[in-house]
């Protein structure tokens, strides 16, 4: 089992180094048409595997000594009335770079740039949580995503 504080610090570092890093991150195109982003630090490994584009869905898994210990699943999309969805995702990446180290689910509670507002709300702690993030422009929701996750395989069958 991993200490929750260690996992949180690792997740924040891994997420800042993968999707949130934008074009600077190495993307692996998988045979099933998904994309995988990988970050490793010592005995911890992070895999973010997603489908999409627009809309998108995926999962993040953390491995400790190659054993899965944590998972988060997510699904999101930009409102159909928004034609500049790539700009929305660029803004999302900026918000995700501000991931709080003590609750590394997605981005901060709130981030604003020009006319875009990112908000993130969640319930739970690193071991078991769910939440949603929203991006609004001029009071209108133009992006939303939901996520949930926590520790996996804690109790073993005898």
What is residue 20's predicted lDDT score, i.e. its pLDDT? 85
| CB atoms closer than 10 angstroms to residue 131 | 19
The verdict on residue 10 lying in a domain is yes
What band does 1 get if pLDDT is binned at 50, 70 and 90? confident
- Asked if the model's pLDDT at residue 17 lies above 70, the reply is yes
The helix/strand count (H/E) of the chain reads as: 2, 9
* Residues of the domain holding 112: 4-151
Q: What is the pLDDT of residues 25-48, one digit of tens each?
A: 889 999 999 999 999 999 999 999
Q: How far apart are CA 118 and CA 153, in angstroms?
A: 33
Q: What is the band of 125 on the pLDDT scale with cuts at 50, 70, 90? A: very high
Q: Regarding beta strands 140-151 and 128-137, do their DSSP bridges make them parallel or antiparallel, or are they unpaired?
A: antiparallel
For the record, the structure tokens of 82 come out as 């928004």
Domain count for the chain, please give it: 1
The Cα–Cα gap between 23 and 10 comes to 21
Q: How many CB atoms lie within 10 A of CB 86?
A: 10
The pLDDT of residue 21 is 85
- Residue 156 included in any domain: no
pLDDT, tens digit (0-9, with 9 covering 90-100), for 36-90: 999 999 999 999 999 988 899 999 999 999 999 999 999 999 999 898 888 999 9
CA distance 147 to 133: 8
Whose tokens are 């990112």? That residue is: 118
């Amino acid at each position: 089992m991993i200490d929750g504080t260690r996992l949180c610090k690792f997740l924040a570092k891994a997420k800042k180094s993968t999707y949130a890093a934008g074009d600077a991150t190495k993307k692996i195109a998988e045979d099933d048409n998904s994309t995988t982003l990988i970050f490793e630090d010592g005995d911890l490994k992070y895999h973010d595997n997603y489908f999409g584009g627009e809309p998108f869905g995926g999962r993040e898994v953390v491995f400790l000594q190659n054993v899965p210990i944590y998972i988060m699943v997510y699904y999101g999309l930009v409102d159909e009335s928004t034609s500049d969805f790539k700009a929305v995702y660029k803004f999302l990446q900026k918000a995700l770079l501000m991931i709080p180290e003590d609750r590394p689910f997605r981005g901060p509670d709130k981030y604003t740039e020009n006319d875009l507002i990112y908000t993130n709300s969640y319930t739970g702690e690193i071991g078991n949580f769910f939440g949603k993030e929203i991006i609004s422009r001029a009071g209108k929701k133009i992006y939303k995503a939901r996520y949930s996750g926590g520790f996996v395989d804690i109790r073993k069958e005898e």
